[in-house]
């Protein structure tokens, strides 16, 4: 496999960030007319409350991750992936990953850093190729 083959297997994918989580809905105690209905309603409410508390904890964690991602990245940025990994990312989470940046979005702060780093890497590789004693530029 040559270097150009390697480059053809890489894909730039936009990471649009995690979707804002939806807050869970708190359960409500239903009205009951008899003691038996009231006991059943309280039992159902306690079960629903346990589910709600677990969903609430999950919501808080996902909300913190959502806020952290946006605080760090400031918006969408590109990731260089192997094509097979890009295909999987696009299939698993099409709301988060895209091949093209949606028109209503602008690149985040991290995108400028990605482009600068990629240019530095390419320049460093070019310097290494030129300096190579066997395949680089001939010394005058």
In the predicted model, is pLDDT for residue 138 greater than 80? Answer: no
Give the model confidence (pLDDT) of 58-108 as tens digits.
Answer: 999 999 999 999 999 999 999 999 999 999 999 999 999 999 999 999 999
The pLDDT confidence band at residue 140, using thresholds 50, 70 and 90, is: very low
The pLDDT confidence band at residue 126, using thresholds 50, 70 and 90, is: confident
Q: Is residue 138 part of a domain?
A: no
Query: How many CB atoms neighbour CB 80 within 10 A?
Result: 12
Q: Is residue 127 part of a domain?
A: yes
| pLDDT for position 5 | 56
Q: Is residue 122 part of a domain?
A: yes
Q: Is residue 108 part of a domain?
A: yes
* Kind of pairing between the strands at 77-82 and 97-98: unpaired
Q: Is residue 17 part of a domain?
A: yes
CB 12 within 8 A of CB 78: yes
Q: Is residue 136 part of a domain?
A: no
Q: Which of 12-26, 31-45, 126-140 is least confident?
A: 126-140
> For residue 66, what are the contacts with CB-CB under 8 A and spacing of at least 6?
17, 18, 19, 20, 21
Give the closest residue to 21 by CA, choosing from 64, 52, 53, 51.
64
- State mean pLDDT over 109-134: 88
Q: Which domain holds residue 101?
A: 3-131
Give the closest residue to 78 by CA, choosing from 139, 10, 126, 9.
10
Q: Is residue 104 part of a domain?
A: yes
**Could you give the CA distance from residue 102 to residue 99 in angstroms, rounded to a whole number?**
9
Q: Which helix (H) or strand (E) holds 82?
A: strand 77-82
- State mean pLDDT over 2-8: 59
Query: How many CB atoms neighbour CB 82 within 10 A?
Result: 12
Q: Is residue 74 part of a domain?
A: yes
CB 107 within 8 A of CB 100: no
Query: What total of structural domains would you count in the chain?
Result: 1
**Could you give the CA distance from residue 44 to residue 90 in angstroms, rounded to a whole number?**
40
pTM: 0.67
| pLDDT for position 55 | 96
């Amino acid at each position: 496999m040559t270097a150009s083959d390697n480059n053809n297997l890489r894909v730039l994918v936009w990471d649009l960030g995690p979707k804002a989580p939806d807050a869970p809905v708190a359960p409500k105690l239903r009205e009951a007319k008899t003691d038996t209905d009231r006991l059943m309603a309280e039992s159902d409410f306690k079960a629903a409350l346990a589910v709600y508390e677990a969903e609430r904890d999950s919501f808080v964690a996902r909300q913190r991750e959502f806020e952290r991602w946006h605080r760090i990245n400031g918006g969408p940025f590109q990731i260089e992936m192997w094509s097979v990994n890009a295909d999987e990312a696009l299939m698993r989470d099409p709301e988060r990953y895209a091949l093209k940046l949606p028109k209503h979005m602008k690149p985040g702060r991290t995108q400028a850093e990605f482009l600068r780093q990629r240019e530095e890497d390419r320049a460093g590789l070019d310097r290494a190729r030129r300096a190579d004693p066997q395949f680089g530029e001939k010394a005058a």
